[in-house]
Each structure stands twice: as structure tokens, then as C-alpha cells.
């Protein structure tokens, strides 16, 4: 067999690539991360709960990931979390050097909005790491008010503030109006939850509904409640909030199987409240290390003490639970999803 010099030269790049790939795959997790940085992108603006959780947890991730990589936290807000989610799925490095905390509603967007969705990702292909806590949504109402019971919401108008049409502050009252015949009127255009809440205090609106109740929000409304200027009158979720024992459970309004399925879809994102997630197709040993670091962080006494000082709740949800929750959401019968989408998009 004769020697073909041209064919031999063409094989050299492939052989070098295979050698480099082999060396990379032979690296231990500690060898890969030692001396490296991990970029942690937050899919919302600075100073909000997503940002606060990310920055408080990053030093503990460093402590528990083999090789102790340093974290660099950056914000990439936009599109209700779709901007950061799209970047994570399509553009971010997939070697374990990039993770994100995405907005909880982003995973639901492709399901609800279908072909109109701006999502360029499959949430079931993400590598979900975990959420430091779960959320319970609340409805705040200024006092005095003619609304004395949940039944009054069917006959008396209550004006509520919201940021955008896609926010839970707008979606929750729209779903309730469609399902239960309540008479919420939504005023949109507030820049953020702080401004939307302030509108209640100023008397511009009668109330504010939200799918979350972070420590920041509770601190803002606590003085109003203590002064009997406002009250938490609704709970969005399937369990009571001990801080507001007299608030009415919206879940109790559901009487039919369809109504219960609609509320299950509505509250699902609250369980995965502040999700850390890694890109698809990354080395599984590095992903396992990230999940392990998360699990150890949310049990770390120093982190728990830090969280308590900042009034951050810690009620962790594992990455496996988030993945299962998303799979269940996408298994929801199509008629339920279609009705949810129609109601949540209503004017």
C-alpha cells in the first residue's frame, strides 16, 4: 500500500482534535474548575429578589464546588426572563463555566404562547439545579374597603395595579375573572413591583396581586398592615401562609376538575420560584457538582443565618423536582392550556 502524503496531512487536525477532546474529558471536575470563573447571569434587574438570592448564594457555591471557582454575577433582564433563557440555551458556553438564575415564568412561556412565543429553548432540555425557596402569592387590599369576603369580589369591582400584561399581577386577576366571575380591573404600566405596590399606598388603585411575596415585598407592606391601612386578603397557592392566617385561599374557589387544573397550572411556577439552571449538553459530572453545591448551600448554617438577617426565606426545591414539575406542566391537557392562554391574554 503506497503512502499518500496529502491524506496523511488531512488526518492531522482530526487527530489533534480527538486528542484535545480526550484530554478535556479526562479532566476531573476539580481540575476543570480550579482557577476558573463561573459566570452567573440573573434574568432580571439588579436589587430584586432574583438578584439578591443569586449574589448571596454565589460565595457558598464557590465553597462547595470542587476547585472553588470564583463567581461573577451579571444581570441580563428582558422579555420576562426570555432574554437570559434564550442566551443560556443557544449561546452560552456549555462546559460548566456559565449558569443562570432565570425568571420563573420563562419555562412556561413556550407552553402558553405556542407559535407566538419568543422563547428559543426547550425547558425540558435545560439542566435544572434547584431553587432556594418556594413562593406563595398574595393579594393586598387597601383599607377601608367594601370587599369583606371573597364572594364580594364577584359583585364589587376592585382596581389592581400591574407592570405588564405578562406579569402575574395582571395574569392572576384575569384568570380569576374568567374562572370565577370576579370583577378585578387592571391598571398596567408601573415600572416594577415596588411602584405597583406604592400605587396602593397612594390610593391610585385598590389593591395588588402577585405570584410572589419576597422578604423585600413583605417589608414594604408590613407598616401598612400594622397601621390597618391595608391587609393581605388572598393567598395564591395550595398551602396557607402562617404570616396571614385570615387570608382567603383562592384554591378554595375551584369546584370543578377543570378549575383545579387551571389553578395547578397557574401556581406551578411559584414552586420553582428562583431557579438556578445550567445549559443543555454540558458534562454531566460538572452538572452533578453544581447540583451538589446547591444542595449543600441551602443547608449551610452560615448561609441560613445570612438569609435570616436579610429576611430571605429558604424552603428549597431540588433540580429533580423542578424538572418533574415542568414535565407535568407540559403534560397538561391541551384544552386546559388553551383556556389558560386565552384568559391570561385577555384585555
Tell me how far the alpha carbon of residue 307 is from its chain's centroid: 18
> What pLDDT, on a 0 to 100 scale, did the predictor assign at position 66?
98
| Bridge partners, residue 263, by sequence | none
Strand 207-210 and strand 137-142: the pairing is antiparallel
Q: Is the dihedral of CA 242, 212, 63, 46 positive or negative?
A: negative
Domains in the chain with CATH codes: 29-134+272-344 (3.40.190.150), 137-268 (3.40.190.10)
> What pLDDT, on a 0 to 100 scale, did the predictor assign at position 346?
72
Give the three cell numbers for residue 33.
474548575
Strand 158-161 and strand 207-210: the pairing is parallel
> What pLDDT, on a 0 to 100 scale, did the predictor assign at position 279?
98
Q: Residues near 71 by Cβ (< 8 Å), separated by ≥ 6?
A: 37, 38, 39, 40, 58, 59, 61, 62
Cβ(312)–Cβ(274) below 8 Å: no
CA neighbor of 319 nearest in space, from 265, 276, 268, 285: 276
The Cα 99–Cα 266 span in angstroms is: 26
> What pLDDT, on a 0 to 100 scale, did the predictor assign at position 12?
54
Cβ(225)–Cβ(232) below 8 Å: yes
Q: What is the DSSP letter of 300?
A: -
C-alpha separations of 42 from 48, 51, 179, 257, 330 in Å: 10, 6, 34, 37, 25
Give the CB-side neighbour count of residue 26, counting CA atoms within 13 A.
Answer: 6
Strand 98-101 and strand 276-278: the pairing is antiparallel
The one-digit pLDDT tens for each residue of the chain (347 residues) are 444 555 545 555 555 544 444 445 578 999 999 999 999 999 888 887 889 999 999 999 999 999 999 999 999 988 778 899 999 999 999 999 999 999 888 898 899 888 888 899 999 999 999 999 998 899 999 999 999 999 999 999 999 999 877 778 888 999 999 999 999 999 998 877 778 889 999 999 999 998 877 776 788 899 999 999 999 999 998 888 889 999 999 999 999 999 999 999 999 888 999 999 999 999 999 999 999 999 999 999 999 999 999 888 899 999 999 999 999 999 999 999 999 999 988 76
The Cα 158–Cα 138 span in angstroms is: 15
Q: DSSP labels for 16-57?
A: HHHHHHHHHHHS-HHHHHTT-EEEEEESS-TTSHHHHHHHHH
Q: Residues near 247 by Cβ (< 8 Å), separated by ≥ 6?
A: 138, 139, 231, 232, 233, 234, 235, 241
Amino acid at each position: 500500500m503506497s503512502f499518500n502524503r496529502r491524506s496523511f496531512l488531512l488526518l492531522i487536525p482530526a487527530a489533534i482534535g480527538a486528542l484535545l477532546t480526550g484530554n478535556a474529558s479526562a479532566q476531573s471536575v476539580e481540575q476543570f474548575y480550579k482557577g476558573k470563573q463561573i459566570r452567573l447571569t440573573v434574568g432580571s434587574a439588579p436589587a430584586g429578589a432574583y438578584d439578591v438570592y443569586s449574589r448571596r448564594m454565589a460565595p457558598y457555591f464557590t465553597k462547595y464546588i470542587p476547585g472553588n471557582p470564583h463567581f461573577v454575577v451579571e444581570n441580563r433582564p428582558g422579555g420576562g426572563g426570555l432574554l437570559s433563557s434564550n442566551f443560556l440555551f443557544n449561546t452560552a458556553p456549555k462546559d460548566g463555566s456559565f449558569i443562570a438564575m432565570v425568571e420563573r415564568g420563562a419555562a412556561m412561556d413556550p407552553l402558553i404562547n405556542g407559535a407566538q412565543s419568543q422563547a428559543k429553548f426547550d425547558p425540558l432540555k435545560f439542566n435544572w439545579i434547584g431553587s432556594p425557596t418556594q413562593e406563595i402569592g398574595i393579594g393586598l387590599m387597601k383599607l377601608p374597603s367594601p370587599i369583606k369576603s371573597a364572594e364580594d369580589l364577584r359583585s364589587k369591582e376592585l382596581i389592581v395595579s400591574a407592570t405588564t400584561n405578562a406579569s402575574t399581577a395582571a395574569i392572576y386577576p384575569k384568570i380569576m375573572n374568567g374562572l370565577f366571575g370576579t370583577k378585578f380591573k387592571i391598571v398596567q404600566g408601573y415600572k416594577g413591583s415596588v411602584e405597583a405596590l406604592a400605587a396602593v399606598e397612594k390610593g391610585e388603585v385598590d389593591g395588588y396581586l402577585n405570584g410572589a411575596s419576597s422578604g423585600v415585598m413583605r417589608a414594604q407592606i408590613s407598616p401598612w398592615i400594622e397601621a390597618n391601612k391595608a391587609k393581605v386578603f388572598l393567598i395564591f397557592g395550595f398551602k396557607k401562609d402562617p404570616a396571614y392566617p385570615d387570608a382567603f385561599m383562592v384554591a378554595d374557589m375551584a369546584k370543578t376538575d377543570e378549575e383545579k387544573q387551571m389553578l395547578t397550572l397557574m401556581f406551578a411556577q411559584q414552586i420553582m420560584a428562583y431557579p438556578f439552571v445550567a445549559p443543555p449538553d454540558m458534562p454531566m459530572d460538572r452538572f452533578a457538582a453544581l447540583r451538589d453545591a446547591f444542595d449543600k448551600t441551602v443547608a449551610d448554617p452560615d448561609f441560613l443565618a445570612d438569609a435570616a438577617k436579610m429576611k430571605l426565606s429558604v424552603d428549597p426545591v431540588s433540580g429533580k423536582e423542578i424538572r418533574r414539575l415542568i414535565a407535568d406542566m407540559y403534560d397538561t391537557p391541551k384544552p386546559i392550556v388553551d383556556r389558560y392562554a386565552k384568559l391570561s391574554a385577555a384585555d
